[in-house]
Homo-oligomer: A and B are copies of this chain.
Amino acid sequence: MFTLSEENYLKAIYHLELGNDGGVSTNAIAEKLATKASSVTDMVKKLSEKEVVLYKKYKGVTLTVLGKTVAASVVRKHRLWEVFLVEKLNFSWHEVHEVAEQLEHIKSAKLINQLDRFLGFPTHDPHGDPIPDKDGNLKIVAKSLLSTLSKNESGICIGVDDSSSEFLQFLDKKGITLGKKITILDKEDFDDSLSILIGDKKLSISNKIASNLYIRAHTGQ
């Protein structure tokens, strides 16, 4: 069994490993968890004892198969709870993270399995991130950043890169939500801003925004 703190470390390492491949640095973990490098070193030793990470002094850490399973189960719980909050309790997608950070540590296999069933076995959370299955595997969907599409191309909005509350609220204001079809009407060479069609509305968005929106290729019209 793992403590709340241990679970948070495993989750942080899990997320960092998906970005960089290879070992994760002490400092990277410290930054992600808003803690100090010395605390990370201490905890990483404990996790190594428990055989959930591989750790060589000064060489960073890697999750073991066991560690990856534990971390994925925490992520699974986090994302299932996010779906619950949005679908059943009328939370907005920018409000769910903080609460899910707490709910993800509740220990009960039956709870999470029944929740999964209750929600209709969702595959993605409200931000478009994939939900690991019981075994910790996640289905990767081919996706591109909106900013990489060319003029007249279109796709379905399926996720965000930056899921900060501010960004999500900005998207709400603009009417940009998951599942909507977006077509590039024009690209401005000057500042790489885009003119897009979403639903029946025309919008102009900056490159920064377009670089934080994931799109699934949309075949046919």
Contact = CB atoms under 8 A, between A and B. Distances in A.
Contacts of A118: 88-89
Nearest to A105: B102
A99 interface: yes
B91 A102 contact: no
Nearest to A4: B4
- For the complex, would chain A's binding face be called helix, strand, loop or mixed by DSSP majority? helix
**A interface, size bucket:** 10 to 19
A95 interface: yes
Contacts of A102: 106-108
Contact of A91 (B85, B88, B107, B110): B110
A137 interface: no
Contact of A99 (B85, B98, B108): B108
A156 to B, nearest CB: 29
Contacts of A90: 114
A178 interface: no
A209 interface: no
Interface of A: 85, 88-91, 95, 98-99, 102-103, 106-108, 110-111, 114-115, 118
